[in-house]
Chains A and B, each alone.
Chain A
Amino acid sequence: MKVSYFPGCTLNTTGKGYDNAVRASAAAVGLDLVELPEWNCCGATYPLIVDNMLELAAPTHILVSAHEQALDEGHEAPLLTTACTTCYNVLRRTNHFIRNHPEERERVNAFIEKEYAGEVEVKDILHVLRDDIGFELIHEKVQSPLKDLKVAAYYGCMVLRPPAEVAYDDPDNPRSLDDLMAALGAVPVDHPHKNECCGAYLAVKAPDVTREMAFTILKSARSSGAEAVVTNCPLCQFNLDRRQREMTQFHAGFAPIPVYYFSQLMGLALGLDAGAYGWERHYVDARPQLRALGLWNG
């Protein structure tokens, strides 16, 4: 299955390891991610301010690119996916806005000198894996099941809110990442804070706030019996992982817990060479845990 792929800035630079994992594991299950020939930064959360032109134009430009690619390369349908949840949130909501606001649509189209009316469907990669590929198929392709690793799935905000525009799962009790983990041979552990915010950009301005927010989530995961946390958002991974550096200072007795990006685990379970999946960027090194489970092949 061919799908237009938008890597986004993060997965193109500091998160290159994740991008490797995404592409490889997708290919292994028959999902052909075709990178857009031309793309720009989606603008992160700024397009949500809809009264300014550039912030709308940037993501629309990406959508147009996806549309053109689908037509040129004969994709079944114009479908754009990304593995960065913020990019997903931005692209999907901009698409929704363009579809429903004819006057603004005209303005934006005039600015970017293209005709776009929302023809593309924007889907998060986890959504594509769940509905277009199917977890059963992925399960069949698993070579090294994850040895019942007790893993707490963490979704963050971007794929759940606002529900009417972006959610492809129950915003109060999502299950897709949990189910994917189960298909890969891990044991998903339910915990109450799987959809709480990690603090997002406060990582820059107020890291002590993100530390506390991360602590709430990780403590809850631990007390629910998790040995690891898995997420589908690179920024969440960063906040939950990096802030563990100061956590023991403020919370005595805190035991560090590895935080995986889901494609890393997917690649491992599918038996792929996971060496270039960005392990060195983790603060809490996950490799010892993987070695102990006999899952580390790097």
Chain B
Amino acid sequence: MTEEMLHSDPAHKGEEATHLSNRVLIVGAGIAGIQAALDIANSGHEVVLVDRLPSVGGHMHQLSETFPTLDCSQCIMTPRTVEVGRHRNIKLYVYSEVEQVQGEAGSFHVRIRRKPAYVRWDLCTACGACTEACPQQIPVQFDRQLEIARTTKSGQVRTYGTGKAIYTLSPQAVPKKPVIDTGYCTWFQKGKCRLCEKVCPVKAIDYEQQPSWYEEQVGAIILATGYELYPLSKLGEYGAGDVPDVIDALAMERLLSASGPTAGLMRRPSDGKVPKEVVWIQCAGSRDPELHMPYCSKICCMYSAKQAMLYKHKVHDGQAFVFYIDIRSAGKRYEEFVQRAMEEDKVLFVRGKVSKVFREGDKVLVWGVDTLTGLPVEVSADLVVLSPAMIPSEGTRQMAEMLRLEVDEFGWWTECEGNLAPLETRRRGIFLAGAGTGPKDIPEAVSQGSGAAGKVLSLFARLTGAAGAPVRPEDTGIGSSTRP
């Protein structure tokens, strides 16, 4: 390793290699963060992987099946989440947030705050007794606050939230340890209950648990903070989130998912009936500079076509409508996928933006237009699925401030040089991956995750002069070299 090679990147000269760490902090354990973590860990470096949720997997964990292959999302993802959970080079901090970062490339000091779970994870055996015992039935974020109809003992149909106050995100969660949502827990709210404590066989419940802090030293950081969906409350013309049976796309994923609140059976939330007419509304909040977001959210055309297909596979005599402006199916095999939805599954694509959605009796009325005939269209639907704009994850702006990095006016991470350096920020040693920089699909997020990992590995080699330093096979895991 010559002096020349250390300084071979002309933009960054004069580095001094003092107290350098070849560990990486990855913020966000969605699919992009997971990919980056695995690529780096398999190359023999330690990863500190932080996520604010109780388990890894991000939004991909919520999906039913993925386009264009219709693979079950958890099935393709769990081998990776499991590997992340047990990889000896990955130090996993879930239910945690990065509170502070100081330093420069090669030596960042990171302070991580772990939120109190009120469960002692070192004792917990994930038996599930606490969740079963919890008397609450609350709307939960993982299921997009869905309230599902159930028939009570007296024969009434009432809607209930789908989760418990003490919960794990799903049966496949990694790690599969529960946390208590103090906002709903009766003990924290009213001082009563404590049933979970009573049933826990290993006495792992600890209502007094405090947040804890951890310090880590890393040499590089990858921001894989992902996205959120535009809140329905801002879409007044589509019911502002108050109209029953008008749900967002991730809620539809939960309804379609075999591990979801209806075990994959297609049921209307309000009354549990099988919806015979379902309408998907594209660009709900995207491509709308006057009122909402001006940009395109990229993946909605594809996921709506997918959801419509899955719906038709479950309800053979159902009718699916998709109201669109442009169909954006530009990836590999995406065009053919949408054609399949139209030709084989008879999903009706209507070109026109929807102007209004409202409730009438037990139907949801959709007012739109078919621009190809020029005529207004009204559909009396049982269920309406909105494709809301994608927005950056909550807290991105604050993190940007803390890191002295830029985000654009919408809060998406700003890349250093959009075209030729899509994974780099203006700070050396801090990289980007996944939907945190802007809407993108899973293959792109994975590609970027690997890309950011490559950037980190390359950087470490230059900083520490340890290019090509061999790693013992045991450190990469048995047989993990040729079998990704």
* Contact between A and B in the complex (any CB pair below 8 Å): no
